[in-house]
Structure 1
Amino acid sequence: MSQPRRTSRHRAWTALTLPALLCVLAACSGSPTSDAAASRTPSASPTPSGPPGTLFDDFRYSGPEDPSLAANGWEVRAGGGGPGIKDTWSGGGAGFPTDPTAQGGRVLQLQSSTDGTKQGTKQAEVQTTGTPLFTGTFAARVYLSDKPVSGRNGDHVVETFFPISASDSSPNYSELDYEYLPNGGWGSVGPQLDTTSWFKADPPDRVTRALKKQRLEGWHIMMITFMDGKATYSLDGKDLFTSSGKYVPREKMDMHFSNWFIDLPFTGGSRTWNMKVNWFYYKADEAVSHADVKNTVDGFYSAGTHHINTVPKS
């Protein structure tokens, strides 16, 4: 069962390095040193282009301090707050490596690690900012992990994809969660995929459905469609859960990807967990099918399109 995500959680995000920040403010046109960054179209365009009401990104960045990352509306979290092991968020957990299993060959990687102590724990999260997301279709191709890439297995890790209110204390608090628990947690035995729609964070008021005893390591297209007063979660084209009534968003949200630990069940030896995101796609005010999402994203890749944002800002 998911815990309140915003309780005791405050935002503390990485800042751009000074040269990168000055570069963004000056709209500099110098080419990045990375071939990945160099392949991107300049992102600070005054006139958004592309299909209307669309946000798409394939995460071709050189690193968390790439000026294009912030210019395209992404933030990397660092520092304080929950959930999980409080105050252990690390900006260094976000990377953009090549991956031959990914469409286009590149991913956003969220790497979390622990040795079983708070001092030895690092959690990772990346979110959108400045683009309000509400009704429509949210989709991402996500790689879920059943085991660490190094070290002993057994951590209660949570691999997540979720739109959520920008304010912790909003009276119209809204959140729609995918949470994969390969080793369980909160008293459950894994593997388990929780889909949870929130009405209120504190005290917790939500509805949830769990897909249990299915190992999901590998790539999956995870979708949430919020239209006509219903929020529907689907995995690889198969509907998992629909919430309605008060358990649907009431205000615009940001999109988050996060990899964190519920608790620290054992010490002794470091272990590292990777979650990967191939691409993210949002279509405002439309219910888009799994097949159409895939076809649309395939078209972006074929055209060499790395980023689109034509979502209205208000």
Structure 2
Amino acid sequence: MSQSRRTPRRRAWTVLTLPAFLCALAACSGGPAPGRGADAPVPSTAPTPSGPPGTLFDNFHYSGTDDPALTANGWEVRDGAGSPGIKDTWSSTGAGFPSDTTAQGGRVLRLQASTDGTKQGTRQVEVQSTGTDLFTGTYAARVHFSDKPTSGRDGDHVVQTFFPISASDSSANYSELDHEYLPNGGWGSVGPQLDNVTWYKADPPDRVSHTFKQRLEGWHIMMITAVNGKVTYSLDGKELFTSSGKYVPREKMDIHFSNWFIDLPFTGGSRTWDMKVNWVYYKAGEAVSQAEVQKTVDGFYSAGTNHINTVPKS
């Protein structure tokens, strides 16, 4: 269903240095020290955690987009040019890490997209992992979708997404696996709908997709399992779509979360759309059930572990 996609992604991002010793940095530490508030930065002298091999977990306990731990833990915030949506309107100002009483652990990554119906007044937002070390296995995230704007008039064709994707659209082994929620539809369709799309090529588009028609306001656990020659998309433990054959990952990918506009259907008055991410989890090479994912995530929260990355480097 989706667009013929993006300009090369690396050209559209603010350059942020990812140290080669990613998980040797103290920023990979667990929870805040006793007496620290929830909004305090992760201490830079904490020990590196150990954990299950081939595992990535992050619950986005950062003080802001300028927190050194964000970069050290392998995240970039998009700020610059490119597609999709309203071209060249990506802004890091839409990303934040506020407290949230509805979230496990009380903290979220908030992706706030806004527009007044003009390109000049539009801000889209995207946050991605870096390193392209994620391939087959289980991808999971607890995501809060919005059916209506946080402020302003309803009606925008907004896309709220969680997806692993190749570092370059022009790669010979291009891979992309999409969860895309369109509360008001788009591209001629009427929402609400969740589109699952497995891509073989970005340009010209070559993909298979499935549309699940249901309103999804609120928190959900989104999962993508890519093992044994097939990709399975699920929502809150319910399988929605499976692709196979050539429609499977062919190379390593990064995880992206984004909130953007397909078009600008009307002008007049600003409106803001929020998407939130509670945590993200990846297990290399294995199919993991939702119950097992949640049990592992609960264990990280209980141990005060905010970030872990034991995925082998390329």
Q: TM-score, with normalisation over the residues of structure 2?
A: 0.91
Q: Does 1:2 align with 2:2?
A: yes
C-alpha RMSD over aligned residues: 2.3
Aligned partner of 2:156 in structure 1 is 155
Structure 2: which amino acid aligns with 1:77? R
Q: Does 1:195 align with 2:196?
A: yes
CA offsets per residue over residues 194-234 of structure 1, 9 Å max, x none?
A: 0000000000000000001x110000000000000000000
Does structure 2 conserve the Cα–Cα contact (< 8 Å) formed by 1:16 and 1:67?
no
Structure 1: which amino acid aligns with 2:288? V
CA offsets per residue over residues 120-152 of structure 1, 9 Å max, x none?
A: 000000000025100100000000000000000
Percentage of pairs with the same residue: 77
CA offsets per residue over residues 142-169 of structure 1, 9 Å max, x none?
A: 0000000000000000000000000121
Does structure 1 conserve the Cα–Cα contact (< 8 Å) formed by 2:39 and 2:99?
no
Equivalent residue in structure 2 for 1:40, among 25, 39, 42: 42
Deviation of 1:14 (Å)? 3.0
Specify every segment of 5 or more residues in structure 2 that has no aligned partner in the other structure, as ranges. Answer: none
Secondary structure at the aligned position of 1:209 is classed as: strand
CA distance in 1, matches of 2:16, 2:246: 39
Aligned partner of 2:225 in structure 1 is 225
Aligned partner of 2:251 in structure 1 is 251
Secondary structure at the aligned position of 1:104 is classed as: helix
Aligned residues: 303
Does structure 2 conserve the Cα–Cα contact (< 8 Å) formed by 1:179 and 1:194?
yes
Does structure 2 conserve the Cα–Cα contact (< 8 Å) formed by 1:43 and 1:72?
no
Structure 2: which amino acid aligns with 1:216? L
Secondary structure at the aligned position of 1:149 is classed as: coil
Aligned partner of 1:268 in structure 2 is 268
Q: Structure 1 segments of 4 or more deviating over 6 A?
A: none
What are the equivalent positions in structure 2 for 1:57-96 lying under 5 Å apart? Answer: 57-96=58-97
Aligned partner of 1:237 in structure 2 is 237
Structure 1: which amino acid aligns with 2:91? S
When residues 16 and 231 of structure 1 are mapped into structure 2, their CA distance, relative to the original with a 3 A threshold, is closer
Structure 2: which amino acid aligns with 1:189? V
Deviation of 1:39 (Å)? 5.9
Q: Does 1:140 align with 2:141?
A: yes
